A and B are shown apart, each in its own frame.
Chain A
Amino acid sequence: MYIKHSRIDRLFITVNTILLTLAVLIVVVPLVYVVIASFMDPTVLLSKGISFHVSDWSMEGYNLILSNPAMVRGFANAVFYSVSFALITSAVSIFAGYALSVSDLVGRNAFMTLFVITMFFSGGLIPTYMLVKNLGMLDTVWAIIIPGVVNVWNIILARTFFKGIPNELKEAANVDGASELLIFFKIVLPLSKPIVFVIALYAFVGQWNSYFDAMIYLDNAKLHPLQLVLRSILIQNQAPPGMISDQLAMNELKRLSEMIKYSSIVISSLPLIVMYPFFQKYFEKGVMVGSLK
């Protein structure tokens, strides 16, 4: 059964298509511009702008970035922080989420309240900083990985997921004499791959993109993650150390700094850009489960 569209409907569909196309262009054009610009010959880019002649292309920006120790170290640090943070966060959230999903856990609601309160109230920047300092975590990797591990949203996500696992499954095991420990490791955990994946993915992206904790907690440049290195290049306009020697002329400096900016943006976003289309449905799933609790 197909209903013939009225004139208003056809007009609406046309306007809708135009507006959505516009929205997509607004979002995509700046991103594509950066990617193309990163492959341009810097001199051509400064004088003519973007060009599609093969002779105007160059890998100079990438050569500079990939041979820069600060950038490479930042990348390695970011991988380390993001992976370990994702692992710890998903483990802690899954454990807590499962415990809170078992309905005969005494004090379940009190614990839940305790967690939820922290979504609305916080001690604030200064008291948190003082705590981290007093714990002796300043200038250590722990300051980056540990304080943010508990994200109540993740715990709610996990709890909702486990509540969806049919109780009969656990009861049957219980009748067979399996302990809670056995039930968790043999029955629940194998079923929870999707939720572990969703939480780990979110944690990874969040940590990969963050700069603030590193900025306030880490003095030692050797520990800096990629985003902090990027910040000095993109926003403070500093060439990363060891990149540009002082005998280079001003023009050369300007030429190179533009190149470095574009290619460092692409390099830093590359892991997420590559991951993103494959994992889109998991990201969406995370939003859904979290919001429709």
Chain B
Amino acid sequence: MRKNYFLYLLLAPALILTLVFKYIPMYGAIIAFKDFNPIQGIWGSDWVGFKYFTKFLTSPNFGDIFLNTLKISFYGLILGFPVPIILAVMLNQIRKAGIKKNVQLALYAPNFISVVVVVGMIFIFMSPTGPINQMISSMTGKPLMFMSDPAYFRSIYILSGIWQAAGWSSIIYVAALANVDPELHNAASLDGANILQRIRHIDLPTIRPIMAIVFILAAGGIMSVGFEKAYLMQTSMNLPASEIIPTYVYKVGLQSGDYAYSAAVGLFNSVINVILMISVNFVVKKLNEGEGLY
């Protein structure tokens, strides 16, 4: 036991920082149920129950913001989830190790670019005079207003997200596929199985448990869409499609100073997140022979 003092000492910084910067804010979330008054502080302010939750749920913005959040992440999940898997299966078929490594090097690169730069590139490429519109206007005669028309916001957001992340997300599947015993493929080939059949009966079953976990985690994060990117991509014109719960929390809370209301909206968002994750885990477990996240 004595010798453990040192270990507790090693653990202390992480523990203290976690208690302060993670658990105190969790406690601070009760501000959502209070009429926050800076002088009285969180604890001294009066309880108001679900007042701010009701205010959000009955506000005229609620429907739009809620649906925007759901749609962006739902479509993002449906479109983005299969791409890394397909990439990994295709990469796995490259026989020359050198080529495979260089292809991976290229596909992973966008992951290391900052959101600010990615959104900056989107603005440059999609601007009315940018390279994409130069091509479009040479064909149709007039440029498309990508960044100011709400109709394009979701597609640009999701497709650029796939562009940036798909390669990197494929790593985990690539690694799992590399562990498949080559004898399995050889035996199947001798039995006359072609590549497609081997992918279907050897490769895909191998990565199925990982697919399940990645899917559950992604579905659990469905309401926490990348705030940082959505906020950068917002223009006053595309707001009808781009205002999502996290950007709304930021604006109401930090820009207008309505702390309690904003915290309530944020809490509402987290609760939905947890509910989604638990339900998706339940469904996946049923479909996946009892294999879920927990």
Residues of A within 8 A of B (CB): 1, 3, 5-6, 8-9, 12-13, 16, 19-20, 23-24, 26-28, 30-31, 33-34, 46, 49, 91-93, 95-96, 98-100, 102, 104-106, 111, 114-115, 118, 120-131, 146-150, 155, 179-181, 184, 205, 208-212, 216, 227, 230-231, 233-235, 261-262, 265, 268-269, 272-273, 276-277, 280, 283-284, 287-288, 291-292
Contact = CB atoms under 8 A, between A and B. Distances in A.
Contact of B10 (A6, A95, A212, A261): A95
B29 A227 contact: no
B195 A291 contact: no
Contact of B109 (A5, A27, A179, A262): A27
B7 A20 contact: no
Interface string B15-45: 1011011111111110100000000001000
B171 A34 contact: no
Given A9-B194, A23-B87, A125-B253, A211 B228 contact: yes
Contact of A126 (B7, B163, B266): B266
B161 interface: no
A124 B263 contact: yes
Q: How would you classify the secondary structure of chain B's contact residues: helix, strand, loop or mixed?
A: helix
Given A118-B22, A180-B3, A96 B194 contact: no
Nearest to B4: A105
A13 B93 contact: yes
B171 A287 contact: yes
A227 B118 CA distance: 11
Interface in B36-90: 42, 87, 90
13 contacts: A12-B195, A26-B163, A92-B13, A96-B11, A105-B11, A129-B254, A130-B25, A146-B21, A184-B10, A212-B227, A268-B117, A269-B112, A280-B108
Interface in B195-211: 195-196, 210
A284 B175 CA distance: 9
Contact of A130 (B31, B87, B196): B31
A98 B194 contact: no
Given A150-B18, A179-B6, A234-B117, 20 more contacts: A3-B190, A33-B131, A46-B129, A96-B13, A105-B4, A106-B4, A114-B18, A118-B18, A123-B26, A124-B249, A125-B246, A127-B25, A130-B31, A131-B24, A149-B17, A209-B113, A227-B114, A235-B119, A265-B117, A272-B112
Contacts of A33: 131
Contacts of A120: 220, 274, 277
Interface in B161-214: 163, 167-168, 171-172, 175, 186, 189-190, 194-196, 210
A124 B267 contact: yes
Nearest to B189: A3
For chain B, give the interface size range. 35 or more
Residue from B108, B112, B123 having most chain A Cβ neighbours under 10 A: B112
A16 B86 CA distance: 10
Contact of A122 (B25, B93, B115, B120): B25
Nearest to B172: A291
A100 B11 contact: yes
Interface in B90-118: 90-91, 93-94, 103-110, 112-117
B14 interface: yes
Contacts of A115: 14, 18
Contact of A28 (B6, B106, B232): B106
A126 B246 CA distance: 11
A93 to B, nearest CB: 7
A200 B189 CA distance: 44
Contact of A211 (B13, B116, B134): B116
B11 A9 contact: no
Contact of A131 (B28, B131, B269): B28
Given A265-B120, A269-B113, A123 B25 contact: yes
A115 B19 CA distance: 9
B1 A106 contact: yes
A30 B121 contact: yes
